[in-house]
Every structure is written in structure tokens, then in C-alpha cells.
């Protein structure tokens, strides 16, 4: 390998540790620590005025020895037991803490994912869940339970004592080789460790090994950074995984017992970098699996051939890595594609009717855009062929533009920019400026884009209501999610209305003259979905008569907007040429989704972002 492993070796010397026997001690007044044997996990407990908080990490069998150690330090009841990494049942039901009726505390997503069987054998005490932060405090002590995202597991959380500057990390920081990486996202793990560093911990209590200073956090972070660099160098040199593993191991003095764990860590990073593990940037979007051909389907056979259209340079090798048994062929036109269609199992890019009729074995079509209405012809819709799209990949970029539109209106930025081009230092007062705080935002369509709009609007202190036929979970800061039949009752209350819906028969010209008349004269309409969801003539009339304050349109009907159209000249309109999705991050996510679905299709796993072809989205 070209890159030196000197830094990685130095970090390894900091991290490596062998633990033979448990050791306990008081690391600060009322804050205790127990180092467990290497096959277990460490345990901490914190005394408050009238109770004890236990901090533990996946302790086998409830750790009776830990109970004995706690009782040598205090007779106060154990009121709470905090799991830094919820996993399985954690020995909770059989533990002495459960017998005492202590409350188990864990990060919501991690607990919900890993304790689905609790109903059949519930714990003796209550279960507390938190999202990002939970504070346990009395006059003597403050402990903050914090969640920074998915590193080792989905439910990773830490315990931070700000007065004592003590940090309990659980498995996010360990001495020795990190283990049990099946659910890990090491790239995001690095980001979490970066967020922990500014806390300024005086003492770091790791998930395995003895307590130390904040150098443990830095060492764990550098370990992953350098391991990523080493594996990436091996990939650039076109080395296979065993060659990369042995190349790194040959340069590190490592006990024989740790070599399998280290090889597993290298393999995990290799799988992340080559797309065999879904990238965290994609996983965090919470994309849903849909009905699709899997290895459990009757008559399923491994796919042999995929036709790819519109691949960028360098993407084909990435697809070949995740589907090594599949032949990939590229085509730039229907004419080039047709000779390959008789034995094609899947197509990346749109399928024409002629291509479809020539493909008797076709099982899957992936559309690299969000909108699919232009590609749904009757034969395809009525067939068992599965279609997926890039829904959600552009959500962040589009939501940014929506907030940009709202700020342009609220501060009159478009008018001021016009004065800049004229070289004039004047305040334009076409409408008095206002803040977004306390303004009512109505989001029509609460899928990926609508939710990203809401997430940003929460930060501006807006009152948010969403309209969607399939509401799903209600995010923090969103007051209500209501069905479409309540839209007309909500329009008179909205200061901003944002259209985030797909184009379907139900949404075609939904915003007609009657609905525009329901909006306040001070309200603004924003459309980033499809131009046809608004009756353009009715919108022009409403804008000219000042029946609404303004409109921001990234999409229009017709599109592109022809020269001389009235919308071009209206001062209360902001127009952009259907470009809100454009961003480097959008392209990267769309690529990650394509690669992940190709991997799933080849392996016979359920596909992500399956389109309801009859509904049109």
C-alpha cells in the first residue's frame, strides 16, 4: 500500500488493552466505575440524593457481580438503568435491577428496533425512551443522556456529567479492537466522535477497558479515520479484501486473539466503501422496502443481465462490485437497447413500450428521477414488473430552496437584488418585511420533501400543519397531519402553502380558482412538485388582483415557461427553471440508492422506493 500506516500503528498502541479481572473504583465523589472481564462490558453508577442511576452496556445475564459492587457503595434504590447501546433484551428481565422495579432508559429508535419482544415477557419496571436528549437531575447531580446518531448501533447514546466532566461512551469508544460491528456505520461513527470531543471530557469511561482522558476519544476517531484511508488505498490499488487485510495486519503488532476482530473491522470498512453496506447518508433517510422479487419468491432465479442507461463515468465498476454475478450492458438509445432486451432482467433508466415488449424476462425498472408519470404506459403498469424511483434523494436540496423562497418573500430580497443591479442603495417597501417565526406553514404532501421542509421550518419557529392521505409518524414541531379533505378548512389560516405532491389525477390542477380564493391576501404559494398541480390561468388572475401576496414556482404549466408568458412580468412572482433538486448531495444519494438496489436485486432482497404504478408514485 502506498500510504504509511505509522499513524494507525500509533493509535493502535493507545487503544490496545487486555483486561484480566474486574476492577472497581470511585472516579469522582458519588460516581463509580467497574471494569468487567473482556467478554463483558463496563458498568458505571451515579449517586443522586435519593437514588442511583446505573449506566451499562449489553451486560450478559444482568451482571450480578455489578449489583454486589453497587451495594458496597450505597443502599439507595436503583431508580434508573441507562442502556448506552440497546441490543436484544440486554439481560434486563433476569437482572437484579428488574427485580427492584427500576426503569430502563434507552434511545427510542434503538429500543424500538431491538426490544420488540418485550410484550411477551415485559420487564418488572417501566421503560423510558428518549430521542436526542434526556436530563436526569436533582440538587446534587446532573446527568445528560445524549444521542448523536447511528455509529455502532442505531440506538447509540452517551451519559455526560457536565459538572464533573465525565463521559460514559458505551461502545462508541473502547480500548482494544472494536467488535460486534454488524449494524455499525463507521463513517458516521467518526462524525459522532467529532461531536463528542468539544464536550471537553476530563474522564472518558469507555465501553471496554479502563477509564482515561479525552485522548481515548481522539484515538478511537483516528483509528477509524486511518483504517478508512488504508482500505481506500487498497481499493485504489485494486487489491482484494484478503490482500488488504493481510497488508495492514503485517504492519501492526497485534495479539493473536485480536487478529480475527481486526480482520472483521477491516472487512466492515471495506464493505462500507464498496457499497456492500448501505451508506449511512442513505440509511438515515428511512427508506421503505416494497413488494419486489426476492429469493423467497416462487420461481426466483438470480438475475443474469442488467441494461444500464445514463451511467456516469466510474459508476459501472461500482455496480459490478455489488453484483459480481451479473452482466451489465450500457445503451444510449432505444435502438442500442433493443438487441439486449430478450435476456435482460432489469433496466436502469426508462423503458419504452418497444423495449418492454422485447423483454420477456424483465423484472425490475429503476427510474433515476422522482417523477415517474411520463414512464407509466398501460402495459408496464398492468405487468408484474417492479418499478423503483429516486424519491427522497433530492428532498434536502429542494427543502433548502423552499426555505430560500420564503426568506426572499419575508425580507423582500428579490426586490432588493433588483436595486443592487441598478446600483441603488434604497429600501424597497413593496411589502413590509416580516419574520418567519409564528407564521403558519401548510405543507401539501408530507413525503420525504415535505418532511425536510418541516424540519427546516421548525428551526424558524413556524407553526406547521401537513396534508397527506398517508400521514405516518408526526415529527417534533409539526402540529398536525390531516387528510386531504381538510385542506379547504386550513387554507384560510396559512401564511405559506408549499406544494410537495406527485402529479396524479387527484392532484391535477388541484389549486384552482376556488382554492386560491380561500387563501389569505397576505399568503404565498410555493410549488416545487409539478406545474400541473396548479391552474396557471387562475394563479395569474389571483396574483394580478393581489388576492394572494405572491408565488414562487420552480415548476410551471406549461414548462418551460414560454417567452412573453404573464408570469415573467409579475413583480410578486419568483421563478426558477425546475432546478431545486440540483445539488452534489442529490446526485450522490441517487447513486447510493441505485447501487444499493442493484445489490439487493442481485441478492434477492426487497427493493427500496418501490413505486405504486397504478397510483403513479
Residues forming the active site: 530, 559, 578
Distance CA 57, CA 110 (A): 13
* Residue with grid cell 487503544, as numbered in its chain: 15
Element (H, E) at 168: strand 166-170
Residue 422's CB: how many other CB atoms inside 10 A? 8
In the block, cell 414560454 appears at: 562
Please state, in angstroms and rounded to a whole number, the distance separating the CA atoms of residues 477 and 454: 8
Cα dihedral 344, 346, 352, 358, rounded to 10, equals 20
3-state secondary structure (DSSP) of residue 191: helix
Cell 422485447, residue located: 358
How large is the C-alpha radius of gyration of the chain? Answer: 28
Reduced DSSP (H G I as helix, E B as strand, rest coil) percent helix, strand, coil of the chain, to 5: 35, 20, 45
The single residue listed with the C-alpha cell 397510483 is: 615
Other beta carbons within 10 Å of 451:
24
List CB contacts of 43: < 8 A, sequence separation 6 or more.
33, 34, 36, 54, 55, 56, 57, 59, 63, 66, 69
Pairing relation of β-strands 158-161 and 141-146?
Answer: antiparallel
Residue 372 C-beta-side C-alpha neighbours within 13 Å? 27
CB–CB of 331/354 below 8 Å? no
Cell representation of residue 291? 413488494
Q: What span, in angstroms and rounded, lies between the C-alpha atoms of 252 and 12?
A: 8
Query: 588 with 280: CB under 8 angstroms?
Result: no
User: d(Cα 419, Cα 524) in Å, to the nearest integer?
Assistant: 22
| 248 phi, psi to nearest 5 deg | -75, -45
412 close to 466: Cβ distance less than 8 angstroms: no
Amino acid at each position: 500500500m502506498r500510504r504509511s500506516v505509522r499513524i494507525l500503528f500509533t493509535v493502535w498502541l493507545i487503544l490496545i488493552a487486555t483486561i484480566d479481572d474486574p476492577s472497581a473504583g470511585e472516579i469522582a465523589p458519588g460516581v463509580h466505575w467497574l471494569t468487567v472481564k473482556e467478554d463483558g462490558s463496563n458498568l458505571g453508577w451515579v449517586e443522586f440524593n435519593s437514588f442511583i442511576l446505573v449506566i451499562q452496556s449489553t451486560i450478559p445475564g444482568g451482571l450480578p457481580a455489578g449489583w454486589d459492587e453497587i451495594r458496597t457503595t450505597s443502599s439507595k434504590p436503583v431508580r434508573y438503568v441507562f442502556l448506552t447501546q440497546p441490543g436484544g433484551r440486554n439481560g434486563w428481565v433476569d437482572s437484579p435491577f428488574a427485580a427492584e422495579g427500576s426503569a430502563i432508559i434507552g434511545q427510542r429508535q434503538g429500543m424500538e428496533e431491538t426490544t420488540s419482544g418485550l410484550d411477551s415477557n415485559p420487564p418488572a419496571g417501566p421503560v423510558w425512551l428518549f430521542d436526542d436528549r434526556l436530563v436526569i437531575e436533582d440538587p446534587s447531580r446532573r446527568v445528560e443522556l445524549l444521542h448523536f446518531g447511528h455509529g455502532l448501533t442505531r440506538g447509540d447514546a452517551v451519559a455526560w456529567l457536565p459538572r464533573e466532566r465525565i463521559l460514559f461512551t458505551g461502545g462508541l469508544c473502547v480500548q482494544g479492537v472494536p467488535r460486534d460491528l454488524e449494524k455499525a456505520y463507521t463513517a458516521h461513527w467518526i462524525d459522532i466522535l467529532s461531536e463528542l470531543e468539544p464536550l471537553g471530557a476530563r474522564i472518558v469511561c469507555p465501553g471496554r477497558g479502563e477509564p482515561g482522558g479525552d485522548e481515548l476519544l481522539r484515538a478511537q476517531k483516528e483509528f477509524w479515520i486511518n483504517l478508512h484511508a488504508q482500505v481506500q488505498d487498497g481499493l485504489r490499488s485494486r487489491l482484494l479484501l484478503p490482500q488488504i487485510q493481510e497488508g495492514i495486519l503485517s504492519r501492526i503488532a497485534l495479539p493473536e486473539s485480536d487478529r480475527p476482530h481486526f480482520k472483521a473491522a477491516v472487512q466492515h470498512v471495506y464493505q462500507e466503501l464498496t457499497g456492500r453496506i448501505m451508506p449511512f447518508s442513505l440509511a438515515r433517510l428511512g427508506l421503505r422496502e416494497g413488494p419486489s422479487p426476492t429469493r423467497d419468491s416462487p420461481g426466483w432465479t438470480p438475475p443474469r443481465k442488467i441494461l444500464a442507461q445514463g451511467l456516469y463515468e466510474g459508476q459501472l465498476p461500482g455496480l459490478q462490485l455489488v453484483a459480481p454475478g451479473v452482466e451489465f450492458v450500457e445503451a444510449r438509445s432505444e435502438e442500442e437497447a433493443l438487441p439486449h432486451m430478450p435476456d435482460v432482467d432489469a433496466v436502469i433508466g426508462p423503458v419504452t413500450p418497444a423495449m418492454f415488449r422485447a423483454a420477456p424476462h424483465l423484472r425490475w425498472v429503476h427510474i433515476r428521477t422522482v417523477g415517474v408519470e411520463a414512464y407509466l404506459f398501460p402495459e408496464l403498469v398492468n405487468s408484474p414488473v417492479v418499478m423503483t424511483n429516486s424519491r427522497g434523494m433530492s428532498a434536502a436540496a429542494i427543502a433548502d430552496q423552499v426555505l430560500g423562497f420564503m426568506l426572499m418573500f419575508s425580507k423582500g430580497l428579490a426586490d432588493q437584488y433588483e436595486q443592487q443591479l441598478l446600483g441603488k442603495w434604497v429600501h424597497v417597501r413593496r411589502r413590509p418585511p416580516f419574520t418567519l417565526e409564528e407564521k403558519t406553514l401548510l405543507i401539501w404532501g408530507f413525503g420525504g420533501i415535505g418532511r425536510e421542509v418541516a424540519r427546516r421550518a421548525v428551526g424558524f419557529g413556524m407553526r406547521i400543519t401537513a396534508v397527506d392521505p398517508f400521514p405516518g409518524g408526526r415529527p417534533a414541531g409539526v402540529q398536525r397531519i390531516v387528510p386531504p379533505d381538510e385542506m379547504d378548512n386550513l387554507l384560510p389560516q396559512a401564511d405559506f402553502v408549499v406544494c410537495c405532491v406527485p402529479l396524479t389525477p387527484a392532484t391535477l390542477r388541484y389549486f384552482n380558482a376556488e382554492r386560491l380564493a380561500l387563501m389569505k391576501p397576505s399568503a404565498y404559494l410555493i410549488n416545487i412538485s409539478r406545474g400541473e398541480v396548479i391552474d396557471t390561468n387562475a394563479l395569474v388572475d389571483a396574483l394580478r388582483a393581489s388576492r394572494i401576496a405572491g408565488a414562487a414556482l420552480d415548476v410551471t404549466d406549461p414548462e418551460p415557461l414560454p417567452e412573453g408568458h404573464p408570469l415573467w412580468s409579475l413583480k410578486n412572482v419568483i421563478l426558477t427553471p425546475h432546478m431545486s433538486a440540483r445539488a452534489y448531495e442529490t446526485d450522490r444519494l441517487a447513486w447510493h440508492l441505485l447501487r444499493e438496489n442493484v445489490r439487493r436485486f442481485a441478492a434477492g432482497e426487497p427493493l427500496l422506493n418501490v413505486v405504486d404504478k397504478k397510483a403513479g408514485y
